[in-house]
Chain A
């Protein structure tokens, strides 16, 4: 729409179409409902959260009291914060990395055409319809410990492990990986779909030519498939990161409540606990600022990583 010429200035085109149309008023009216709701329930909470982090406040007792940096001073001295950040990072790392790797493998596995491929793909994708809540209840049974074994431990036992892990229960080592396994299971469908879309943009002819030239499976992955899907990896990782952020609340709240000895107390669960169990909204807001900074930092890391690897 940048066809400005001198001719246009002297004589507007027939039909009276204004040269530089402005839809300001109609746009404002049509955008208003969207922006008003967005402002009230998304924008204000973000800004308000930052402000609240400088105050001391219990929602059911009087107005907020300005305390400056006090919440942040407490935050940096609070050993539970360090613990929660560590748990959160561990949860994200143990979850997002396997999700990316496994989903690429799955996408390659189902990127094949045969008669029932639609049905088979449905098996891969159907967990996407499950909620964290429903999955938590199913997996709690599968992960069950004693008197006999739960299904997962039984299978592990079949492979010759005599002392299978105590998932989600009393073990500080295995509780968090247990939560990760559930979230990975839930995140794989979306990640697999994204990789599959990228894979299908690689022309079959290139792969066939490589095979004819004697490139084995590993070389095909290394030199053709990976360069072809690398751009998608950032998106897969971001989507997984956000899913795991949600999971770091839902699953913890439902399955472990942060136990054993804070081994699964993620930052988000700690925030929830501070606000809704202790009524310390100001401190919870300061922790939320930390949480947003954490996600922002991780997104930045992903961006930098993708820059480096695509060079």
Chain B
């Protein structure tokens, strides 16, 4: 093939863009569908791609009227759950990370190994007994019961902070210690400010995980007062429950529940990438 280097480059960029659009097409479809009329969505011959006319009222139906799918309460629950779980877990992980990276004590290796092993035993595999423990502590259908078992999954975060804090120069800690600073002061004045990039990466990944979590809320938050957004949209979207939510209102509901994360993702994308790879991607 006799194509100039430049032409080949353009072809490649064209393909890269095309594939990218294809991969995010379901999301575009979700937004387009949320603005269509229901007749258009249910057209029986050719599926519609572009709304004939824009039906913004679908979004009003999400929050009111007979087809109401999302209650403000669900939004608040999702926020409380996410902020609570990530906030508590961050506190545990950054202090734990400092302990196992810079402090000297006997059981360091045991603890590190245990945390590492826990990464391969995700909650979904220990669901039954985690639920039992939670139940026996009387935490069933309470905010602490929703939040604490998730905050307790400290393996990933602690090891992430450990890796980051290990790279901080030893002399920094020695000097501060010699000036009489105790470890709590070190944590507050030195580690937390210096580990800000690690915190950003950790928060980006953990917030997404918590907001999107379905399984744990499903088993522990059975009372409608405690349900989070993922539970709500699944419930209203389930044709088996006899409650028929129009498809366009359902799309609008999905957009509303995912929009906060989409927008947040656009902002934290570099931190997300850094958290996964341990470094940046150019």
Contacts and interface: CB of A to CB of B under 8 A. Distances in A.
A202 interface: no
Contacts of A123: 17, 20-21, 23-24
B164 interface: no
B188 to A, nearest CB: 12
B52 interface: no
A281 B132 contact: yes
A114 B154 CA distance: 39
A38 B157 CA distance: 12
B129 A44 contact: yes
Contacts of A132: 212, 214
Given A138-B254, A142-B29, A34 B158 contact: yes
B254 A30 contact: no
A26 B182 contact: yes
Interface stretch (B53-61, B145-153, B192-200): B145-153
Given A24-B105, A120-B20, A30 B95 contact: yes
B268 to A, nearest CB: 10
Contacts of B244: none
Bin chain B's interface residue count: 35 or more
Would you call the interface of chain A mostly helix, strand, loop, or mixed?
helix
Contacts of B23: 106, 123-124, 127, 185, 188
A288 interface: yes
B176 interface: no
B142 interface: no
Interface in B6-41: 9, 12-13, 15-17, 19-21, 23-24, 26-27, 29-30, 33, 41
Nearest to B92: A34
Contact of B281 (A23, A128, A193, A276): A193
A246 B96 contact: no
A33 interface: yes
A9 B174 CA distance: 20
Given A30-B99, A37-B152, A133-B230, A23 B247 contact: no
A150 to B, nearest CB: 7
A229 interface: no
Nearest to B170: A1
Given A30-B95, A250-B215, A112 B45 contact: no
B257 A134 contact: yes
A17 B171 CA distance: 13
Contacts of B155: 38, 42
A193 B277 contact: yes
Nearest to A285: B128
A83 to B, nearest CB: 19
A38 B150 CA distance: 10
Nearest to B41: A141
B109 interface: no
B93 A21 contact: no
A139 interface: yes
Contact of A151 (B29, B137, B170): B29
A29 to B, nearest CB: 8
Given A130-B212, A134-B230, A148-B47, A141 B103 contact: no
Nearest to B136: A59
A23 B258 contact: no
Interface string B102-124: 01111000010011001011101
B233 A137 contact: yes
Contacts of A59: 132, 135
Given A112-B12, A134-B233, A200 B282 contact: yes
| 7 nearest A-B residue pairs (beta carbon) | A131-B212, A123-B20, A41-B152, A197-B277, A45-B129, A37-B152, A34-B96
Given A123-B24, A185-B23, 14 more contacts: A30-B183, A31-B99, A35-B111, A38-B154, A120-B20, A124-B19, A125-B269, A125-B272, A131-B213, A137-B237, A138-B27, A148-B45, A253-B215, A288-B127
29 contacts: A15-B178, A30-B187, A31-B95, A34-B92, A34-B99, A37-B154, A38-B152, A38-B155, A41-B134, A41-B152, A42-B130, A45-B130, A46-B129, A112-B16, A120-B13, A124-B24, A130-B261, A131-B230, A134-B258, A136-B234, A149-B47, A151-B47, A188-B23, A197-B277, A197-B278, A200-B281, A268-B124, A285-B129, A291-B125
